[in-house]
Amino acid sequence: MNSLSPSFSCTIGHWLIQPLWLITLILLIQPALAAQALVPRPPSLSATAYLLMDADTGAILVAHKDDVKLPPASLTKMMTAYILVYELDRGNVSLDDVVRISEKAWRTPGSRMFVQEGKFVSLQNLMRGVIVQSGNDASVALAEHLAGSEAAFADLMNRHAVRLGMTGSNFINATGLPDENHYTTARDLAILAREIINAYPEHYKVYSEREFTYNKIRQPNRNKLLWRDSSVDGLKTGHTDAAGFCLVASAKRDGQRLISVVMGTKSVETRVQESQRLLAYGTRFFETYPLYEAGIELVKARVWGGSEDHLSLGLTNNLLVTIPRGQSKYLKGIMEFDQNIETPLTAGQIYGQVNVMLDDELISRRPLVALANMDEGGFLKRVTDLIRRSFNQLIEPKLDH
């Protein structure tokens, strides 16, 4: 993980005029402003809505009608499969569990895994039937097993959507079969894809499988990008007359993972080509730049009455930013942190923030937290710190208001 090599802009005088409770450190790579990044306009696609997101940072690089509510068709199955993985992660179900196929699941129209009524199918096979074969029958069987009925499962889908911040979505079924009240947005689908990729990487591997055979019927994954681009490893296709041809894809190239969402194209080939254009644009003109590692001391803060004089502050997660290519040397990290910290304190408590600037633009903000616990100091230490603190407050210059 790279970090901004600090040349502190704070002089002694700068420190003295700061309020005692707050100190600001500015970490500069280079004092000059960046030359304007030569990033062209994003491509205009033949699609109703589309979006390009950096999977690591969540930065939106391209967006067109990304908050318009649209029918998602089989992109719905991303949420269906996500809930299964969510339940697996919590130990509520196992991939070895077997599911009895109901008449409703067997009779569900549309794309099929070709399960048979009354037969028992493992959750592992149903997962692949949903993700790889896009089986509506598998989706209904999965929903009934996890929630008792498809209607109850749809309620669960909507609860998860709220939890993930998918504010433009409403799910009526587990399959994506047409319903006027069943809709989502390009932005929401990107949010869901990012969660699938980052939260459950082991299960995400299923999205890269090119084919799956069940009941002696081999079916290929409908995501043609899996064959055309070795950097693409997911996620899901969808199609109905109302939705058009849709594709959510993800590619990882040179450490950068991007998520593209294309909705409402006119053909299978168009959704593939337009997804490729989005991914190529993001790779060519942007980079995901690592700044600070989680758990590494970024700054020391003064502690009063503690067993130690200073507290190490850092981040709970790695900090990466999405920037135009070649602009990393112009990044600036501004550390704002409390200088009035008292003990006892617990690791993870927030005592400041780091603001990452590219020229005058704020591109990321993260809390600075205590990296360790600290107990109160002994009686003599507390008294000594009290005297020092009172003296500092007396000599601190009064700021103009």
Report the candidate in 192, 135, 204 with the shortest Cα–Cα distance to residue 163. 192
Structure tokens at 232: 């693409």
Of 102, 134, 312, 364, catalytic: 134
pLDDT of residue 7: 30
The question of whether 149 is a catalytic residue gets the answer no
The question of whether 134 is a catalytic residue gets the answer yes
* Helices 77-89, 186-199: crossing angle, 10 deg rounding: 30
Give the separation between CA 383 and CA 350, rounded to whole angstroms.
Answer: 26
Cα dihedral 176, 46, 230, 268, rounded to 10, equals 50
Domain ranges of the chain: 12-32+293-395, 49-288
Give the separation between CA 5 and CA 19, rounded to whole angstroms.
Answer: 26
Pairing of strands 120-122, 310-314: unpaired
In one letter, which amino acid is 381? K
Of 74, 111, 250, 312, catalytic: 74
pLDDT, one tens digit for every residue, the chain (401 residues): 554 433 333 322 222 223 434 555 555 444 444 455 688 999 999 999 999 999 999 999 999 999 999 999 999 999 999 999 999 999 999 999 999 999 999 999 999 999 999 999 999 999 999 999 999 999 999 999 999 999 999 999 999 999 999 999 999 999 999 999 999 999 999 999 999 999 999 999 999 999 999 999 999 999 999 999 999 999 999 999 999 999 999 999 999 999 999 999 999 999 999 999 999 999 999 999 999 999 999 999 888 777 887 889 999 999 999 999 999 999 999 999 887 788 888 999 999 999 999 988 999 999 999 999 988 767 766 657 566 766 666 665 544 43
pLDDT of residue 307: 82
Structure tokens at 321: 């930013």
Domain 12-32+293-395 matches domain 49-288 at the CATH topology level:
no
Task: Tell me the whole-structure pTM to 2 decimals.
Answer: 0.87
Report the candidate in 239, 273, 250 with the shortest Cα–Cα distance to residue 193. 250
Pairing of strands 350-358, 361-370: antiparallel
The architecture (CATH level 2) of 12-32+293-395 comes to Sandwich (2.60)
Instruction: Extract the runs of DSSP E, i.e. beta strands, from 183-279.
Output: 211-214, 217-220, 232-240, 244-253, 256-265
Residues 248/275, Cβ–Cβ less than 8 Å? no
Report the candidate in 200, 165, 163, 225 with the shortest Cα–Cα distance to residue 82. 200
49-288, what's its fold?
Answer: Beta-lactamase (3.40.710)
The question of whether 312 is a catalytic residue gets the answer no
pLDDT of residue 16: 28
pLDDT of residue 374: 85
Structure tokens at 391: 């003296």
